[in-house]
Amino acid sequence: MPKKRTAGERSIDPASQQILIRADELGLDTAFSRADAMAACPIGMGRSGLCCKNCFMGPCRLTKEGQVGVCGATASTIAARNMARAIAGGAAAHSDHGRDIAFTLLAAAEGEAQGYQIRDTVKLQAVARHYNIPAQGKTTAALAKEVALKAIAEFGQQTGQLAFVQRAPNKRQQAWKRYGIVPRGIDREVVDVLHRTHMGDDQHPEHILKGALRCALADGWGGSMIATDLSDVLFGTPAPKVGQVNLGVLAGDEVNIVLHGHEPTLSEMIVAAASEPELIAYAQSKGAKGINLAGICCTSNEILLRQGVPSAGNFLNQELALITGAVEVMVVDVQCIMQALPNLAGKFHTKFITTSPKVMIEGSLHIEFDERRALDIAREIVRVAIDNYPNRGPVVIPDDVEDIVPGFSHEYINYMLGGSYRASFRPLNDAIMAGRIRGVVADVGCNNPRVTQDKSHTWLVREFLKRDVLVVQTGCGALASGKMGMVTGEAALEYAGPGLREVCEATGMPPVLHMGSCVDNTRILTVLAQMAQEGGLGDDISDIPAVGLAPEWMSEKALAIGAYCAASGACVIFGLASPVEYSGEVTRLMEEVWEKELGGKLLFASDDETILQRSLEHIDRKRAALNLPVYDPSRFGRSGDARMRALRALPLEARAEALYGGVK
């Protein structure tokens, strides 16, 4: 009989625990209870074997030493193929998101995208420079059209290299050339992996993984980077904003619309529609006080960063939001949307609306997104929600809500550290070189109901802060820290070690920087590239004392991110378990051969203490290789700037205003 975990074992978040208890009382299933009922397959997860289903001579399950598949495929070949296909799946999802944004930019430039405008012309010019497109003498619309067409062409490019590859340090580009993994075209690299892993093709584990790395780079320095950059052009480059997070953002007396998925395109229009006076008046005519928007997952991160729309939480909050009974409409676009949602919505009054031409789920209302009528579609969805408000039954909304200050784009970090006239990463590099900051950790990625929600993310973030490690976050990891009140800057200072605190107090930089959604991990690549180019920390990303973590990962996209970060020179550590554990050869390739060839590696560790220790070892090894002083916290903490201490006495809005200059 599988063990049923208590609410406290399922999540560390009190709001989640409260709603999980309600789910049990109402007899409702969630991902948590389904995970309890369904043990993970030890072969599928690579612990006790490997499974290949690439052809119908199988599926072949390899569970004994030396066993091979019907075609003769070895455990290493199968493990490498499975890993490569997962990376290609993740890269395809991210990159297709980028393609959709590029088409929206094109439509906006041609005046055919209702409600959209080009909000950041400075970013548009920066992206044009990366594409070697001259901006002089062109209207914004003409330049945006050229940029959009160039971005779209990157997907179908067959030869040469992706344009954004040149944004990496020179040494990194040389490493990719030497190892033969420079990405040629985005779609080409995804297709290449699917082809080479078909039955009877590439059966050399290292060669298969080289294809996977090239595909991952086509995501990190291609599709995802396009998604981030063009979203900034269309919707504005993020700067710090005060927001709120957790299930307590749902309103008891307003029409609640929850926006879930990943793309900002439709959700930005729903934000615009929900603030229209006619629709607010219509909501009031139905007895509601107003219209309340809340996000889930990375759509949430997108609109939280740019619009300050509150977040109802991360991946595992999606079902819990519905179980409050307070959601009139949940609107989804793409990725990380559980199929259980429409059925669960049906237990309440909630309408569940799919909108992507790529995503239909039985039991949902499908209102298809079309950028030419985006604002009208957004208004239609808001009306559906308002009309549904009178049908609301009993509601339980947890009180839990925390302030959060997200929006640390690499442009803003640059400005924050160097000022408007000398934007620079110099102060950050100097602080690492002096040992005030020991190193940098990127804690990113998902929740997974097989482990306690948010526990690994938040424990690791606190432990790193204590040891003077600066933390950057994206995706569901950032929302996990947000729910624990650790993304308001000043709050996290309570945990920060003496050197890190000193730097943060002097510069106003929070010790935990929320940089965006899953595709925005490319912002982290840009920061690392610029730190390498700034000088003092070597001349490549692999020289920087930095580690990437995904301690609660679950998606193929997480593996694609891990692979492109490793190929970019980072040490990347994933939690839970290794999907290639059964193959010592593939494990060795990803840890040792990648490190030798590329300076980065991807490894798996099943407990948080090991993740912490291996990360610190890596950071200290990189410090030693750069001849930097050995990390010694006793040297710091006596200077700093009393400004932050005084600011901490102020309410959050006033603090943010003083620190980040007029954020709203």
Q: Can you tell me whether residue 663 is helix, strand or coil?
A: coil
| Site map (CB under 6 A) of ligand MSK, residues 246-285, x = contact | ----------------x-----------------------
Strand 291-296 relative to strand 469-473, pairing: unpaired
Contact 184, 60 (CB under 8 A): no
Four-point Cα dihedral 219, 222, 223, 228, nearest 10: 110
547 Cβ neighbours under 8 A, 6+ residues apart: 439, 440, 441, 442, 570, 571, 572, 573, 615, 618, 619
Q: How far is the CB of 297 from ligand MSK (least distance, A)?
A: 4
Q: What angle do CA 366, 371, 373 make, to 5 degrees?
A: 75
Q: How far is the CB of 190 from ligand SF4 (least distance, A)?
A: 20
Contact 431, 417 (CB under 8 A): no
Please select the residue that binds ligand MSK; options are 50, 175, 298, 344, rule is CB under 6 A. Answer: 298
DSSP letter string, 471-482: EEE-HHHHHHHH
Q: Measure the CA–CA gap between 437 and 502, rounded to whole angstroms.
A: 9
- Taken in order 184, 189, 191, 196, the sign of the CA dihedral is positive
Backbone torsions φ then ψ of 453, nearest 5 degrees: -55, 130
State yes or no: residue 323 binds ligand MSK (CB under 6 A): no
Please select the residue that binds ligand MSK; options are 518, 524, 541, 603, rule is CB under 6 A. Answer: 518
Q: Measure the CA–CA gap between 504 and 520, rounded to whole angstroms.
A: 23
User: Which residues contribute to the site for ligand SF4 (CB under 6 A)?
Assistant: 52-55, 57-60, 69-71, 73, 78, 199
State yes or no: residue 628 binds ligand MSK (CB under 6 A): no
| 152 phi-psi bin (left φ>0, alpha ψ -120 to 50, beta other) | alpha
Q: Among ligand MSK, ligand SF4, none, what binds residue 297 when CB lies within 5 to 8 Å by partner kind?
A: ligand MSK
Q: How far is the CB of 70 from ligand SF4 (least distance, A)?
A: 4
Q: How many residues interact with ligand MSK (rule CB under 6 A)?
A: 15
Q: Among ligand SF4, ligand MSK, none, what binds residue 108 when CB lies within 5 to 8 Å by partner kind?
A: none
Nearer to ligand SF4, 67 or 170 (CB): 67
Q: How far is the CB of 257 from ligand SF4 (least distance, A)?
A: 45
| Site map (CB under 6 A) of ligand MSK, residues 442-461, x = contact | ---xx---------------
Nearer to ligand MSK, 147 or 303 (CB): 303
DSSP 366: E
417 by Cβ neighbours in 10 Å (0-12 / 13-18 / 19+) ranks as: buried
Q: Measure the CA–CA gap between 94 and 150, rounded to whole angstroms.
A: 18
State yes or no: residue 91 binds ligand MSK (CB under 6 A): no
Mark the segment that binds ligand MSK (CB under 6 A) among 54-62, 506-514, 551-559, 580-588: 551-559
Q: How far is the CB of 350 from ligand MSK (least distance, A)?
A: 20
Nearer to ligand SF4, 197 or 542 (CB): 197
Q: Among ligand MSK, ligand SF4, none, what binds residue 71 when CB lies within 5 to 8 Å by partner kind?
A: ligand SF4
Nearer to ligand SF4, 27 or 200 (CB): 200
Nearer to ligand MSK, 400 or 556 (CB): 556
State yes or no: residue 297 binds ligand MSK (CB under 6 A): yes
DSSP letter string, 89-117: HHHHHHHHHHHHHHHHHHHHHTT-STT--
Please select the residue that binds ligand MSK; options are 193, 255, 334, 476, rule is CB under 6 A. Answer: 476
Interface residues with ligand MSK (CB under 6 A)? 262, 297-298, 314-315, 336, 445-446, 475-476, 517-518, 555, 557-558
